[in-house]
Amino acid sequence: MKVPVGVLLSGSGTNLQALMDACAAPSFPAEIRLVISNRADAYGLERARLAGIPTLCVPHRGRSRADFEAELVAAFQGAGVQWICCAGFMRVLTPAFLDAFPNRVLNIHPALLPAFPGLDGQGQAHAAGVRIAGATVHLVDAGTDTGPILCQGAVPALPADDRDALQQRILAMEHRLYPMALRWAAEGRIQLTGRQVQIDLLPGEALALWEAAG
Ligand code: GRF
Protein backbone atom coordinates (compact mmCIF):
# COMPACT_ATOMS: atom_id res chain seq x y z
CA MET A 1 0.00 0.00 0.00
CA LYS A 2 1.22 3.50 -0.79
CA VAL A 3 2.06 5.80 2.10
CA PRO A 4 -0.55 8.58 2.40
CA VAL A 5 0.89 12.09 2.19
CA GLY A 6 -0.50 15.59 2.67
CA VAL A 7 0.75 18.71 0.90
CA LEU A 8 0.70 22.30 2.17
CA LEU A 9 1.10 25.13 -0.31
CA SER A 10 0.31 28.78 -0.92
CA GLY A 11 1.04 29.33 -4.59
CA SER A 12 1.54 27.95 -8.05
CA GLY A 13 2.32 24.40 -7.01
CA THR A 14 4.96 23.32 -9.50
CA ASN A 15 6.56 21.29 -6.73
CA LEU A 16 3.18 19.72 -6.00
CA GLN A 17 3.01 18.87 -9.70
CA ALA A 18 6.41 17.18 -9.55
CA LEU A 19 5.26 15.16 -6.53
CA MET A 20 1.94 14.22 -8.17
CA ASP A 21 3.73 13.17 -11.36
CA ALA A 22 6.07 10.96 -9.33
CA CYS A 23 3.20 9.49 -7.31
CA ALA A 24 1.40 8.57 -10.55
CA ALA A 25 3.96 5.83 -11.20
CA PRO A 26 2.61 2.54 -9.81
CA SER A 27 5.99 1.77 -8.27
CA PHE A 28 6.21 5.06 -6.37
CA PRO A 29 5.69 4.38 -2.64
CA ALA A 30 3.59 7.46 -1.75
CA GLU A 31 0.22 8.90 -2.72
CA ILE A 32 -1.08 12.40 -2.09
CA ARG A 33 -4.35 12.23 -0.18
CA LEU A 34 -5.03 15.89 0.58
CA VAL A 35 -3.70 19.27 -0.59
CA ILE A 36 -4.29 22.28 1.66
CA SER A 37 -3.67 25.92 0.77
CA ASN A 38 -3.99 28.93 3.03
CA ARG A 39 -4.84 30.95 -0.08
CA ALA A 40 -8.00 30.28 -2.06
CA ASP A 41 -6.41 31.57 -5.30
CA ALA A 42 -3.38 29.26 -5.17
CA TYR A 43 -3.04 27.55 -8.56
CA GLY A 44 -1.72 24.51 -6.71
CA LEU A 45 -5.30 23.79 -5.61
CA GLU A 46 -6.36 23.68 -9.25
CA ARG A 47 -3.52 21.33 -10.11
CA ALA A 48 -4.67 18.98 -7.35
CA ARG A 49 -8.30 19.14 -8.53
CA LEU A 50 -7.24 18.34 -12.07
CA ALA A 51 -5.46 15.28 -10.72
CA GLY A 52 -8.54 14.24 -8.72
CA ILE A 53 -6.90 14.86 -5.35
CA PRO A 54 -9.05 16.28 -2.52
CA THR A 55 -8.29 19.91 -1.66
CA LEU A 56 -9.04 22.28 1.16
CA CYS A 57 -8.54 26.00 1.61
CA VAL A 58 -7.76 26.92 5.22
CA PRO A 59 -7.30 30.69 5.44
CA HIS A 60 -4.89 31.98 8.05
CA ARG A 61 -6.15 35.55 8.21
CA GLY A 62 -8.30 36.82 11.04
CA ARG A 63 -7.59 34.00 13.48
CA SER A 64 -4.89 32.81 15.84
CA ARG A 65 -2.00 30.67 14.64
CA ALA A 66 -3.10 27.99 17.11
CA ASP A 67 -6.56 27.90 15.64
CA PHE A 68 -5.21 27.83 12.07
CA GLU A 69 -2.78 25.00 12.79
CA ALA A 70 -5.39 22.99 14.72
CA GLU A 71 -7.56 23.00 11.60
CA LEU A 72 -4.62 21.83 9.46
CA VAL A 73 -3.83 19.00 11.88
CA ALA A 74 -7.47 17.89 12.07
CA ALA A 75 -7.79 17.84 8.28
CA PHE A 76 -4.59 15.90 7.68
CA GLN A 77 -5.32 13.45 10.49
CA GLY A 78 -8.81 13.00 9.11
CA ALA A 79 -7.26 12.12 5.75
CA GLY A 80 -4.94 9.64 7.46
CA VAL A 81 -1.74 11.15 6.11
CA GLN A 82 1.58 10.02 7.56
CA TRP A 83 3.93 12.57 6.00
CA ILE A 84 3.49 16.23 5.14
CA CYS A 85 5.25 18.00 2.27
CA CYS A 86 5.43 21.78 2.42
CA ALA A 87 5.64 22.94 -1.18
CA GLY A 88 5.76 26.70 -1.31
CA PHE A 89 3.78 27.07 1.91
CA MET A 90 4.34 30.64 3.07
CA ARG A 91 3.54 30.23 6.77
CA VAL A 92 5.84 29.21 9.61
CA LEU A 93 4.68 26.06 11.40
CA THR A 94 4.85 25.89 15.20
CA PRO A 95 5.17 22.84 17.48
CA ALA A 96 1.37 22.77 17.68
CA PHE A 97 1.45 21.41 14.12
CA LEU A 98 4.87 19.76 14.08
CA ASP A 99 4.23 17.66 17.21
CA ALA A 100 1.28 16.04 15.45
CA PHE A 101 3.68 14.71 12.75
CA PRO A 102 7.01 14.39 14.60
CA ASN A 103 9.95 14.51 12.17
CA ARG A 104 7.52 13.79 9.36
CA VAL A 105 7.20 17.23 7.83
CA LEU A 106 9.37 17.96 4.78
CA ASN A 107 10.07 21.30 3.16
CA ILE A 108 11.83 22.41 0.01
CA HIS A 109 13.78 25.65 0.09
CA PRO A 110 15.21 27.42 -2.99
CA ALA A 111 18.74 27.90 -1.62
CA LEU A 112 21.64 25.88 -0.34
CA LEU A 113 20.83 26.05 3.36
CA PRO A 114 22.03 27.24 5.80
CA ALA A 115 22.69 30.08 3.34
CA PHE A 116 19.74 32.32 2.47
CA PRO A 117 16.92 31.04 4.71
CA GLY A 118 13.56 32.79 4.81
CA LEU A 119 11.83 34.66 2.03
CA ASP A 120 13.15 34.79 -1.53
CA GLY A 121 16.18 32.54 -1.21
CA GLN A 122 16.78 32.87 -4.95
CA GLY A 123 16.74 36.67 -4.79
CA GLN A 124 19.05 36.63 -1.78
CA ALA A 125 21.49 34.35 -3.63
CA HIS A 126 21.32 36.51 -6.76
CA ALA A 127 21.88 39.71 -4.78
CA ALA A 128 24.84 38.12 -3.00
CA GLY A 129 26.46 37.28 -6.35
CA VAL A 130 27.01 33.59 -5.61
CA ARG A 131 28.46 31.36 -8.35
CA ILE A 132 26.67 28.24 -7.13
CA ALA A 133 23.03 28.31 -6.05
CA GLY A 134 20.58 25.49 -5.43
CA ALA A 135 17.82 23.94 -3.38
CA THR A 136 17.49 21.96 -0.17
CA VAL A 137 14.98 19.41 1.13
CA HIS A 138 14.93 19.34 4.90
CA LEU A 139 12.84 18.19 7.84
CA VAL A 140 10.88 21.05 9.32
CA ASP A 141 11.60 22.20 12.85
CA ALA A 142 10.24 25.22 14.68
CA GLY A 143 12.81 27.57 13.12
CA THR A 144 12.71 29.15 9.69
CA ASP A 145 14.41 26.72 7.27
CA THR A 146 16.64 25.41 10.07
CA GLY A 147 15.65 21.73 10.17
CA PRO A 148 17.92 18.74 9.46
CA ILE A 149 18.97 18.52 5.80
CA LEU A 150 18.08 15.50 3.67
CA CYS A 151 19.49 16.40 0.27
CA GLN A 152 20.68 19.34 -1.78
CA GLY A 153 20.99 20.13 -5.45
CA ALA A 154 23.39 22.72 -6.81
CA VAL A 155 23.11 24.73 -10.01
CA PRO A 156 25.40 27.39 -11.47
CA ALA A 157 24.52 31.05 -11.07
CA LEU A 158 25.71 32.58 -14.32
CA PRO A 159 26.88 36.18 -14.71
CA ALA A 160 24.13 36.83 -17.27
CA ASP A 161 21.37 35.53 -14.98
CA ASP A 162 18.81 37.90 -13.62
CA ARG A 163 16.93 36.81 -10.53
CA ASP A 164 14.21 35.08 -12.54
CA ALA A 165 16.61 33.10 -14.72
CA LEU A 166 18.32 31.85 -11.57
CA GLN A 167 14.96 31.02 -10.01
CA GLN A 168 14.00 28.89 -13.01
CA ARG A 169 17.24 26.93 -12.87
CA ILE A 170 16.80 26.36 -9.15
CA LEU A 171 13.15 25.36 -9.64
CA ALA A 172 14.07 22.66 -12.16
CA MET A 173 16.44 21.25 -9.54
CA GLU A 174 13.69 21.40 -6.89
CA HIS A 175 11.51 19.22 -9.10
CA ARG A 176 14.24 16.56 -9.17
CA LEU A 177 14.98 16.69 -5.45
CA TYR A 178 11.55 16.62 -3.87
CA PRO A 179 10.21 13.35 -5.35
CA MET A 180 13.51 11.70 -4.48
CA ALA A 181 13.23 12.80 -0.85
CA LEU A 182 9.57 11.79 -0.62
CA ARG A 183 10.50 8.34 -1.84
CA TRP A 184 13.05 7.98 0.97
CA ALA A 185 10.45 9.15 3.49
CA ALA A 186 7.74 6.80 2.27
CA GLU A 187 10.10 3.84 2.15
CA GLY A 188 11.20 4.46 5.75
CA ARG A 189 14.80 5.05 4.71
CA ILE A 190 15.32 8.22 6.75
CA GLN A 191 16.93 8.03 10.19
CA LEU A 192 17.55 11.02 12.38
CA THR A 193 20.30 11.22 14.99
CA GLY A 194 20.36 14.69 16.47
CA ARG A 195 20.61 16.94 13.43
CA GLN A 196 22.26 14.28 11.29
CA VAL A 197 20.04 12.58 8.73
CA GLN A 198 21.03 9.12 7.59
CA ILE A 199 19.49 7.88 4.35
CA ASP A 200 19.71 4.25 3.40
CA LEU A 201 20.75 4.95 -0.21
CA LEU A 202 20.28 2.51 -3.06
CA PRO A 203 22.89 2.15 -5.81
CA GLY A 204 22.75 5.19 -8.08
CA GLU A 205 21.05 7.45 -5.55
CA ALA A 206 22.85 10.55 -4.27
CA LEU A 207 22.36 13.04 -1.46
CA ALA A 208 23.76 15.86 -3.55
CA LEU A 209 22.93 16.64 -7.18
CA TRP A 210 24.66 18.99 -9.62
CA GLU A 211 23.16 20.38 -12.78
CA ALA A 212 25.53 22.08 -15.17
CA ALA A 213 24.00 24.96 -17.14
CA GLY A 214 22.55 23.78 -20.43
C1 GRF B 1 9.66 27.06 -4.48
O2 GRF B 1 10.75 27.80 -4.96
C3 GRF B 1 9.97 26.49 -3.14
O4 GRF B 1 11.31 26.15 -2.96
C5 GRF B 1 9.61 27.62 -2.22
O6 GRF B 1 8.47 28.19 -2.79
C7 GRF B 1 8.47 27.95 -4.19
C8 GRF B 1 7.18 27.26 -4.52
O9 GRF B 1 7.04 27.07 -5.90
N10 GRF B 1 9.44 27.16 -0.87
P11 GRF B 1 5.84 26.18 -6.46
O12 GRF B 1 4.57 26.74 -5.87
O13 GRF B 1 6.08 24.78 -6.05
O14 GRF B 1 5.90 26.38 -7.94
Q: What is the pLDDT of residues 2-61, one digit of tens each?
A: 999 999 999 999 999 999 999 999 999 999 999 999 999 999 999 999 999 999 999 999
Q: Are residues 182 and 145 in the same domain?
A: yes
Write down the pTM of the prediction.
0.97
Residues 84 and 113 in one domain: no
Residue 47 belongs to a domain with what CATH number? 3.40.50.170
Clarify whether residues 47 and 66 are in a common domain.
yes
Q: Is 29 in the pocket of ligand 1 (CB under 6 A)?
A: no
Could you tell me which residues are beta bridge partners of residue 31?
Answer: 4
Atom 14, ligand 1: residue with shortest CA distance? 14
Active site residues: 109
- pLDDT recorded at residue 212: 85
Give distance in angstroms: CA of 70 to centre of ligand 1.
Answer: 24
- Final residue in a domain of this structure, among 87, 102, 117: 102
Amino acid 128 reads A
Pair 117, 160 in one domain: yes
Domain boundary among 102, 128, 157: 102
Phi, psi torsion values for 58, nearest 5 degrees: -120, 95
117 and 201 fall within a common domain: yes
State residue 214's pLDDT score.
58
Domain range holding 27? 1-102
Please check whether residues 128 and 65 belong to one and the same domain: no
Q: Are residues 1 and 40 located together in one domain of the fold?
A: yes
| Domain shared by 112 and 210, yes or no | yes
Name which of 174, 212, 182, 211 is nearest 199 in CA terms.
Answer: 182
Say which residues have a Cβ less than 8 Å from residue 91's Cβ, sequence separation at least 6. 10, 38, 60, 68
Locate the ligand 1 atom nearest the alpha carbon of residue 135 and give its number: 4
Q: How many domains does the chain have?
A: 2
Q: So what's the pLDDT on residue 160?
A: 97
Same domain? For 63 and 148 the reply is no
Regarding whether 144 and 97 lie in a shared domain, the answer is: no
Same domain, 155 and 170: yes
Query: Does any ligand 1 atom lie closer than 6 A to the CB of residue 15?
Result: yes
